[in-house]
Structure 1
Amino acid sequence: MMRERRPRGFEVSLKHLRAANSVAVYGSFTAAAADLGMTQSAVSRLVLQLERQLGVSLFLRSTRNVILTAPGREFTASIQRLLADLGAQVDNARALGEQIKGRLIVSCLLSLTHHVVPEAVLKYRKAHPGVEIHLREGLGSQVYEDVRSGFADFGVGNVTALGHEVVSDDVVQESCFAILPSRHPLRDKSTLSLRELRNEAFVSLPTGSGLRQQIDSVATANGIVLKHSTIVEQFGTLYDFVGANVGISIVPASALPPRAPRGVVVKRLVSPPLVRKIGILRLKNRPLTPAATGFLDIFRPLFLSASRR
């Protein structure tokens, strides 16, 4: 029996495994070659390479027949299970690929559409080009209503005060940060308190925004009145205005780009810290479509990473 020293590592391909399996099934290199559409010498070479990798002989060869050795019986039985499992997974993947077509409607807070959702959409489109994605950007109340009414496949929004028909998954508590013009007098401070910002002109979201309401609520609870001097509808505009020295702002972690935009510095807010709870919203009694499940598989890790930044 072959007892060669095993090489470092183990390098075999599906061709090696299929060759050994076919020889085991047919008991002949000639029949295996016909089954695989290869020459007999090619099948013999693949089996020999596999045996050298394993360091054992899988077959006893003679001029009349081929017999499995004890290690050969064990190993080829494992090969058959592996190839069967692989075939099933290939069939499942093809079936899933055929299912993931049509239209996907996602309702999402404005903060997430700034950079997290675009990254997820880009990856999803490469994997499932047959799906049309409809993204609805809105405030927390709009996201909730889109999900509650069944219009959206799922939403990403605030998880407070949800009705019984809507449930939340992957709930996170994300910190909020102050963003300042890069030449602002407070730019060199490592952290900022809300009280230090009370006399600043703010670039803010509308009063209907859950984030705006939370900021005002925390400020009021601490005897602080903030100056909401400029109101914008989008986070991209908000960053542009801060960078243009129109004012300062407060944004959640999920709205922070990987790198601060030009002309803007980011500072952690402390005393009191501002934390909001958001999650993935869906109808309790309606299963997600394959298109929605596929998108969430891509979106979820990006969302969790961004919210914990």
Structure 2
Amino acid sequence: MNQPSKFSPSIRQLRAFRAVFHLGKLSAAAEQLSLTQSAVSVLIRQLEEGLGTRLFDRTTRSLRSTQAAMEAISVAERVLRDVDSLGAGLRDLGQLRRGRVSLAITPTLGEILLPAVVRRFGKLHPEIRVVVDDCAPDQFVSRIVGEHVDLGLGAPERAAADVDTERIMGDTLALVCRKDDPLAARTRLRWSNLDGVPVITVRPGYGIRQMIDGAAAHAGVMLDVANEVTFFSTALWMTEAGAGPSIMPTAYARASRHKDLIVKRLHEPLVSRDLSLVTKRGRSLSPSAEALAVVIRSELGSA
């Protein structure tokens, strides 16, 4: 037999070869493989022609393995073991029996949104490891576009043509104050009510600070920012300690454990932002990432 160049046996040919080698009969191999006898015969003949060597000597009742078959069987079985292992591994990933999923989120949002999500996901998929990338707001989109993570949960500070967003919930800006603060007694709190009031909020450079300054300007108010902090948690304890009211997202304020503080949504203008699932455009989610997205939708809802 002449051996064609660059011949690669198919998996079906290798499975037929293994069955015939161990069973010695086309009929028995065909039954094991759930094929017809003629189909097995064709596969063996194709393999022999491709390899350029005879693998079996035919007799009237059986097939006898040649020396070439004796040498080839260990290689064929190793290839088939690897293929079966690959198939089992991919099935495990697809059926969520193992794997990992990575999520980008800013530290502030992670603190208020992820605990319930991670607990629920862990109960549903204990074999899947969740990796949280708690990145700075200005790194959020680049972590997703650069495929450092599978998906993100947040409010992108900049529009990006290469990401897709799915709204999960809405959020607004609010004032947090002590119960004895005069502002706590107002039924409807307006930005104009903050004129001349020393307040605490985050430093410039954060997307939420741009929203705060823009809302105040729209209301014709020059905010008296007495303290600029990096973390909203700092603003909360300072407000509780009597340093003045603070401005922050409603979701964070209401998730805090400071029970002696009042959270009042700011109106005129009512400033809202969407918290979204963010994925790279054109990139399919893995089964693990899609499962996490399902839990996020279920736990956080669409408010």
- Normalising by structure 2, what TM-score? 0.62
CA distance in 1, matches of 2:195, 2:133: 33
Moved over 4 A (4+): 94-98
Q: How far 1:134 moved relative to its partner? A: 2.4
Sort the Cα spacing of 1:251 and 1:113 in 2 relative to 1 into closer, same or farther, 3 A.
same
TM-fit CA distance, 1:158: 2.3
Distance 1:284 1:241 in 2: 41
Aligned pair count reads: 213
3-state DSSP of counterpart to 1:151: coil
Q: For the structure 1 residues 302 and 233, does the alpha-carbon distance in structure 2 shift closer, same or farther, using more than 3 Å as the test? A: farther
Q: How many Å separate the matches in 1 of 2:176 and 2:97?
A: 40
Contact 2:102 2:150 in 1 (8 A): yes
Which range moved further: 157-166 or 144-153?
157-166
Query: CA 1:176 to 1:136, structure 2 compared with 1: closer, same or farther past 3 Å?
Result: same
Task: Identify which of 230, 233, 237 aligns with 1:240.
Answer: 237
Across the aligned residues of Structure 1 and Structure 2, the Cα RMSD in angstroms comes to 2.5
Distance 1:149 1:95, change over 3 A: closer
Give the counterpart of 1:124 among 116, 121, 124.
121
Q: 1:107·1:155 contact (CA, 8 Å) conserved in 2?
A: yes
Q: Equivalent of 1:199, from 196, 199, 214?
A: 196
SS state at 1:266 partner: strand
Q: SS state of the match for residue 163, structure 1?
A: coil
Q: Tell me whether 1:251 sits opposite 2:259 in the alignment.
A: no
In the alignment, what sits opposite 1:109?
Answer: 106
- For residues 182-193 of structure 1, the aligned pairs below 5 Å read 182-193=179-190
Distance 1:270-1:167 versus aligned 2 partners, 3 A rule: same
Residue deviations 1:212-256 (CA, integer Å, cap 9, x gap): 111111212333222332233333333222222222222223324
The structure having more radius of gyration, on CA atoms, is 2
Aligned to 2:80: none
Hey, what does 1:147 align to over in structure 2? 144
Distance 1:214 1:166 in 2: 22
Asked whether the equivalents of residues 198 and 224 of structure 2 are also in contact (C-alpha less than 8 Å), the reply is: yes
Match for residue 266 of structure 1? 263
Supply the distance in 2 between the matched residues of 1:152 and 1:206 (Cα, whole angstroms).
27
Could you tell me which runs of 5 or more consecutive residues in structure 2 were left unpaired when the two chains were aligned: 1-90
CA distance in 1, matches of 2:256, 2:158: 33
Distance 1:168 1:130, change over 3 A: same
Unaligned runs of 5+ in 1: 1-93
Alpha-carbon distance in structure 2 between the residues aligned to 1:113 and 1:281: 15
Residue 262 of structure 1 and its aligned partner are, at CA, apart by 2.2
Determine the structure 1 residue equivalent to 2:46.
Answer: none
1:229 paired to 2:209: no
The CA distance in 2 between the partners of 1:245 and 1:138, in whole Å, is 31
SS for the counterpart of 1:276 is strand
Give the residue type in structure 1 aligned to 2:207: G
The letter of the residue matching 2:174 is F
The counterpart of 2:166, out of the listed 150, 169, 193, is: 169
> Is the Cα contact below 8 Å between 2:202 and 2:229 reproduced in 1?
yes
Percent of pairs with identical residues: 23
- TM (normalized to structure 1)? 0.61
